[in-house]
Amino acid sequence: MPTRTTDSVSYSTCTGWCERPTDFAPALGGEVQCDVAVVGGGLAGMASALRLAERGADVVLLEAGYCGWGASSRNAGYLSNALAGDPQLLRLLYRSQLRDLTRYAENSARFTERLIERLGIDCEYDPTGNVNAAVSTGQLKQLRKSMRILRDAGADVEFVDGRDFGLPETFLGGVFERGGGLLNPGKLAFGFRDTLLASGAKVFERTAVRAVEPEDTGVVLDVPGGRVHAERVVLATNAHSRDLAIAPGGITPVWTSVVETEPVDPDRLAAIGWTSRTGIITPHTILENYRRTARGTILFGTRQLQAAPRTLGAREPDRAVVEDLVRGFHERFPSLRYVAPQRAWGGWVAVTSFLPVAGEVAKNVFYAVSCNGHGLAQSPYLGTLLADRLAGDELHEDLRTVWRPRPPHLPSSALSTPILRAAWATDRISDRFSQRR
């Protein structure tokens, strides 16, 4: 059968997982008072606002687009119980904190699983766990080292053989993270939105916050149609934090893309040994991910990260990036070259120095960023922990673990176009020269 090109791909500026909402909440007009104003309606902001409303606070959520517009509805759907970043690097940078951070990540996945169940959101959640799988013997060696570090830090992981585990034949084996699984992030984000809109929280969509000004008695937020006077503020603006002067520095946006194929006959997958439903992530410098979806398609992504321009608007993935992702898919799945790539979309993720972070950035102004590409489980957890703190609880030990007045960050040049291109090139060179067996 002929190799399929990217000609059949439709490009989207929003999520490809499901239809986006059309019934927007009103934009804010005039002056509003509240106990807490949450800026940003991703999973972090929505979880924060919902928890505060459940605990009786008068809470307002302000979202520039519609709730779920950002990374929360666009991601690849790996509910992971792991931290972002190579474990060997994490141990180098954060040795003394690794146990606490590992506990935080495991608790995040468990919390978000229970939250999905409690709210009754149908998001096709399948608790498969996820596997970091090697495509070469060099990567396999690297993953064995990583597993020892993860085990020492208390992670629930085991080493698996690719054939025994039902991975596609290209993947030799790797580290299986038992917690978490796969879901449909569009359905999760918009299901969460429905719950929030039905709660006691006041939600304003198409309301971009332009400025956040702490004052003696509270905080004033400036939006195009009016102002909000809040006692306290939660910034849950993820990659867009850079656009708010008050947000902590060191949160750098990068663009990441995913591609979804047409449905594939499961017998064809079984023929290449792919019987497991677990999500697959490779340990490249810039990871690749491959998963099956509930609608019988294959979704794959990342492999390239792109530096952010001055403004982060709506955007489609670049054609060249999609072509490269499809090339990668063909390399990993040579016998599925006939499968047509169907859809492509992407989103902005926030990068810190691999750590999830939260804190008080100015008087009565709090922030939470759990991303680095691993925020699906962590964002709702971090948003909820922050809400509980604002509602008067002691600082939870998991919140203490990530609590920082300023996030530690990578030098800005580390995420520049030349460095990101060099990381991509290093991966391709290692693909070319590494041995499979």
> What is the x/- site pattern for ligand FAD, positions 365-404, by CB under 6 A?
------x-xxxxx-x-------------------------
- State the Cα–Cα distance between residues 110 and 106, nearest whole angstrom: 6
- Is 4 a binder of ligand FAD (CB under 6 A)? no
Select from 57, 236, 254, 402 the one that contacts ligand FAD (CB under 6 A).
Answer: 236
Which of 41, 168 has the CB closer to ligand FAD? Answer: 41
> Which of 3-11, 98-106, 232-240, 425-433 is the region at the interface with ligand FAD (rule: CB under 6 A)?
232-240
Which of 74, 292 has the CB closer to ligand FAD? Answer: 74
Which of 42, 129 has the CB closer to ligand FAD? Answer: 42
- Binding to ligand FAD, residues 283-342 (CB under 6 A): 301
- Is 62 a binder of ligand FAD (CB under 6 A)? yes
Which of 72, 282 has the CB closer to ligand FAD? Answer: 72
Distance of CA 28 to the CA centre of its chain: 28
Work out the angle at residue 92's Cα, subtended by the Cα atoms of residues 347 and 109, and round it to the nearest 5 degrees: 45
Select from 16, 70, 173, 341 the one that contacts ligand FAD (CB under 6 A).
Answer: 70
Task: Work out the number of other CB atoms within 10 angstroms of the CB of residue 293.
Answer: 20
- State the Cα–Cα distance between residues 58 and 36, nearest whole angstrom: 7
For 324, residues 6+ apart whose C-beta sits below 8 A from its C-beta are 303, 304
Which of 38, 140 has the CB closer to ligand FAD? Answer: 38
- Binding to ligand FAD, residues 247-276 (CB under 6 A): 256, 258
> Which of 51-59, 121-129, 270-278, 343-351 is the region at the interface with ligand FAD (rule: CB under 6 A)?
343-351
Give the burial class of 294: count Cβ atoms within 10 A of its Cβ; 0-12 exposed, 13-18 middle, 19 or more buried: middle
| In the complex, least distance from residue 55 CB atom to ligand FAD, rounded to whole angstroms | 19
| In the complex, least distance from residue 433 CB atom to ligand FAD, rounded to whole angstroms | 29
Which of 42, 359 has the CB closer to ligand FAD? Answer: 42
> What is the x/- site pattern for ligand FAD, positions 24-53, by CB under 6 A?
---------------xxxxxxx--------
- Is 17 a binder of ligand FAD (CB under 6 A)? no
> What is the x/- site pattern for ligand FAD, positions 344-363, by CB under 6 A?
--xx-x--------------
Which of 328, 373 has the CB closer to ligand FAD? Answer: 373
- State the Cα–Cα distance between residues 333 and 282, nearest whole angstrom: 14
| In the complex, least distance from residue 2 CB atom to ligand FAD, rounded to whole angstroms | 29
| In the complex, least distance from residue 157 CB atom to ligand FAD, rounded to whole angstroms | 17
> What is the x/- site pattern for ligand FAD, positions 188-227, by CB under 6 A?
--------------------xx------------------
Task: Work out the number of other CB atoms within 10 angstroms of the CB of residue 408.
Answer: 13
> Which of 66-74, 351-359, 396-404, 405-413 is the region at the interface with ligand FAD (rule: CB under 6 A)?
66-74
> What is the x/- site pattern for ligand FAD, positions 151-190, by CB under 6 A?
----------------------------------------
Select from 6, 14, 50, 69 the one that contacts ligand FAD (CB under 6 A).
Answer: 69
| In the complex, least distance from residue 114 CB atom to ligand FAD, rounded to whole angstroms | 17
For 250, residues 6+ apart whose C-beta sits below 8 A from its C-beta are 352, 353, 406, 407, 408, 409, 410
- Binding to ligand FAD, residues 74-93 (CB under 6 A): 74-78, 80
Task: Give contact residues for ligand FAD (rule: CB under 6 A).
Answer: 39-45, 62-65, 69-72, 74-78, 80, 208-209, 236-240, 243-244, 256, 258, 301, 346-347, 349, 371, 373-377, 379
